[in-house]
């Protein structure tokens, strides 16, 4: 395998400039919509000898295991996933690579210093709308297969490359997994904001439950525009929300003391957290008016091994107990979305092969990142029992995080192509 790996490395290095050019093409094509990006990806994969198809689906029609999303949170429109299969010569292990071509909705008032649709390269970084989330992942898998083919290497196992919509619970990879696509392993390609890029591998994804609580109040019986003089006759939902916050804080402390995962405990000293990320009144914001209600938006992370239904039941029980203690506490809880965690153990063959590919490409053994809550690496594991890891080049200023001039490091992207090409050869076997 050393000779094959060396040939693959050389081919990836020789094709580095072309790989950057392909990524820039995808950035520019976004002005024509997601369909234009997908068409370019499909054409490139056909040129590489893949059997390519486009599967159209409705996100809401995909029935999932250990996952849900409210209708309001989901993409409603029909979507299309590109599926390409490069048949192996036989006798090897198969693999699915997946990444998503859809980014955040384009904002014409973006305030970027670089043209977001030009793929400009500045100071070793390629800038573009969605370049890190996740066009670089899509480009990496295409260019990695191109390097394998250029090296004259034929994988023994099937290589399946999929460009699958993901934003707003678009469920592209879910549609494929539940539509019969399977393999011995899967790899999610997505750039990393961790600061170490290709030296990081995601092999653990915590689950996450997202919910909203509306605490209702009672207005004073008056037509006066100001409520201050009547405040003692009202039920102020802000006061009642304090009891809800206390109940959530107590639940968080109880879970933090009880729930443990060695990798999470070692990384941050905690394996589960309940975050109240937003707190707002649902009134008009005037100081002299009692608001009709208060809204809390919450997210609860939990480690692999816990069941989504059990975590949800704990939240419901804590809120029910708070209501039982106060007859005037009126609230409505809406569970917006939930996903279950999953992991690949560090003695698994997929982890071992991935580590070796990263070592070859970067000169360093990778670190495991256990802190990417609800990472898409969970999908093949939870939905189909397929082991999955994730990796990608160094990136930053992601639009989805409120950043501007989203970027991917050019040198690390090229390293990523070489790493994934080596992983194809190592995992699938090669002639």
Same-domain status, 286 and 247 = yes
Q: Of 339, 359, 378, which marks where a domain is finished?
A: 339
Same-domain status, 324 and 357 = no
Residue 373 corresponds to which tokens in the numbers above?
Answer: 């809550």
Give the pLDDT band of residue 3 (cuts 50, 70, 90).
Answer: confident
Residues 236 and 228: beta-carbon distance below 8 Å: no
- 352: CB partners within 8 A, 6+ apart: none
When divided into structural domains, the chain yields a total of 2
Same-domain status, 329 and 346 = no
The pLDDT tens digits for 64-74 are 999 999 888 88
Cα separation, 430 vs 344, in Å, equals 24
Mean pLDDT of 132-143: 98
Same-domain status, 242 and 153 = no
Among 148, 252, 134, residue whose Cα is nearest residue 189: 134
The pLDDT tens digits for 272-301 are 999 999 999 999 999 999 999 999 999 999
Q: What is the pTM of this model?
A: 0.94
Same-domain status, 316 and 368 = no
Domain that holds residue 77: 2-205+341-428
Q: How far apart are the first and last CA of the chain?
A: 9
Mean pLDDT of 405-428: 98
CATH code, domain with 244: 3.30.70.360
Mean pLDDT of the chain: 96
Same-domain status, 145 and 277 = no
Cα separation, 106 vs 132, in Å, equals 14
Give the pLDDT band of residue 192 (cuts 50, 70, 90).
Answer: confident
Same-domain status, 164 and 211 = no
Same-domain status, 246 and 181 = no
**Residue ranges with strand state E in 273-363:** 273-281, 293-302, 330-339, 342-343
Same-domain status, 356 and 313 = no
Residues 216 and 331: beta-carbon distance below 8 Å: yes
Same-domain status, 293 and 155 = no
pLDDT at 1 over 70: no
Give the pLDDT band of residue 241 (cuts 50, 70, 90).
Answer: very high
CATH code, domain with 144: 3.40.630.10
């Amino acid at each position: 395998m050393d000779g094959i790996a060396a040939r693959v490395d050389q081919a990836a290095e020789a094709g580095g400039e072309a790989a950057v050019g392909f990524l820039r093409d995808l950035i520019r094509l976004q002005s024509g919509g997601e369909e234009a990006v997908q068409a370019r990806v499909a054409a490139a994969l056909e040129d590489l000898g893949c059997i390519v198809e486009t599967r159209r689906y409705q996100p809401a029609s995909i029935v999932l295991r250990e996952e849900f999303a409210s209708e309001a949170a989901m993409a409603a429109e029909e979507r299309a996933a590109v599926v390409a299969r490069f048949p192996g010569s036989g006798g090897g292990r198969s693999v699915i690579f997946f990444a998503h071509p859809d980014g955040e909705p384009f904002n014409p008032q973006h305030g970027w210093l670089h043209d977001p649709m030009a793929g400009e390269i500045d100071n070793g970084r390629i800038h573009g709308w969605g370049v890190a989330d996740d066009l670089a992942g899509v480009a990496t898998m295409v260019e990695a297969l191109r390097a394998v083919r250029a090296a004259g290497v034929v994988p023994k196992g099937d290589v399946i490359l999929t460009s699958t919509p993901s934003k707003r619970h678009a469920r592209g990879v879910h549609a494929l997994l539940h539509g019969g696509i399977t393999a011995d392993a899967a790899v999610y390609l997505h750039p990393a904001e961790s600061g170490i890029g290709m030296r990081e591998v995601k092999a653990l994804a915590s689950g996450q439950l997202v919910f909203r609580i509306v605490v209702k109040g009672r207005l004073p019986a008056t037509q006066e525009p100001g409520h201050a003089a009547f405040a003692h006759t009202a039920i102020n939902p802000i006061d009642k929300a304090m009891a809800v916050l206390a109940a959530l804080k107590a639940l968080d402390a109880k879970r933090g003391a009880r729930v443990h995962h060695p990798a999470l405990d070692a990384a941050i000293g905690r394996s589960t957290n309940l975050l109240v990320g937003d707190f707002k009144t649902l009134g008009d914001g005037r100081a002299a008016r009692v608001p009709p209600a208060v809204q809390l938006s919450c997210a609860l992370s939990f480690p692999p091994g816990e069941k989504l239904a059990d975590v949800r039941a704990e939240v419901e029980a804590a809120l029910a107990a708070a209501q039982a203690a106060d007859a005037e506490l009126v609230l409505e809880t809406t569970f917006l979305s939930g996903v279950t965690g999953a992991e690949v153990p560090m003695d698994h063959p997929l982890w071992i092969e991935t580590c070796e590919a990263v070592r070859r490409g970067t000169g360093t053994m990778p670190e495991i990142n256990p802190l990417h809550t609800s990472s898409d690496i969970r999908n093949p594991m939870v939905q189909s029992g397929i082991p999955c890891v994730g990796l990608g080049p160094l990136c930053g200023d992601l639009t989805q995080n409120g950043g501007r001039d989203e970027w991917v490091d050019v040198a690390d992207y090229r390293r990523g192509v070489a790493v994934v090409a080596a992983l194809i050869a190592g995992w699938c076997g090669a002639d």
